[in-house]
Amino acid sequence: MTFEPTSISGAFVVGVERHRDERGFFARTWCRDEFAAHGVEGDMVQASVSHNHHTGTLRGMHFTWRPSKEAKLVRCEAGRVHDVTVDLRPESPTYLRRVALTLDSREHTALYIPQGVAHGFQTLMDDSVVLYLMSDIYRPALAAGVRFDDPALGIEWPVPVTVVAERDRGYADFDPASHLLQYSAAAA
C-alpha cells in the first residue's frame, strides 16, 4: 500500500500496489502493521456500505464526539464520488482545514479519516457505492454533523445536489465556540 499524507493532520490517501498477472491484479487494502507504521493505531471493527442511486446524492458532513474513537477508511467500490473532509479537532494544527478529492472505483484509492474529522461525499455517477471500515462501533448518541452547505466551511460541491437526507440538511451552521465547549466536555 502507499500512504500519501493530506493537508489534514493524520489523514492519508491510501493507494493499492497492484500485483498483476493474466487473471487481473491482487492488492492489499488493509494491513494493521502497515497502517501502524504510518502512525495509525488500532483495528477496524466494523464495516458498512453505502449504495447511492443517483448522481448528485450527498451524504455528510458526519463526525463523532469523543469518547468514540471512530476513524474511517473509505473507498469507492463502484462509480465515482467527490469526497470531502474538514478537520474539526480544535487542538489540531490543521483545525478547520479541508481536503477534497475524487475516489474512483477504477483506482481503488481510499481515504483514511481520523476521529473528529468531518466526512461527506457527493456521487458523481449513478449507482456509486462507498465502503467504510471503522475503528469503533457506531454509537448513535455520539454521531454528529455539520451542514454540507454551511457558508463557514465553504465546501464547493461539483454537481447540483439532487438527494440529501433531512438529517444532513438539518444540521446547524458550524459555531466554533459551541463546538469547542462540546468537544472539551466530551474529552473530560
Domain boundaries, the chain: 2-187
Query: Does residue 62 have an active-site annotation?
Result: yes
Residue 65 CA to its chain's centroid (Å): 15
pLDDT computed for residue 39 by the predictor: 87
- Select which of 62, 112, 119, 171 is catalytic: 62
Q: 39-76 burial, b for 16+ CB within 10 Å, e for fewer?
A: ebeeebeeeeebebeebbbbbbbbbbbbebbbbbbbbb
The catalytically annotated residue of 82, 132, 179, 183 is 132
Say what the pTM is: 0.93
Q: Mean pLDDT, 10 residues at a time, over the chain (188 residues)?
A: 96 94 91 91 91 98 95 97 98 97 96 97 98 96 96 95 97 93 84
- The verdict on whether 38 is a catalytic residue reads no
Q: Going by C-beta distance under 8 Å and a sequence separation of 6 or more, which residues neighbour residue 8?
A: 85, 87, 92, 94, 97, 98, 99, 114, 117
The domain 2-187 having CATH identifier 2.60.120.10: the answer here is yes
Name the grid cell of 88.
474539526
pLDDT at 163: 97
The reported pLDDT for the residue numbered 3 is 96
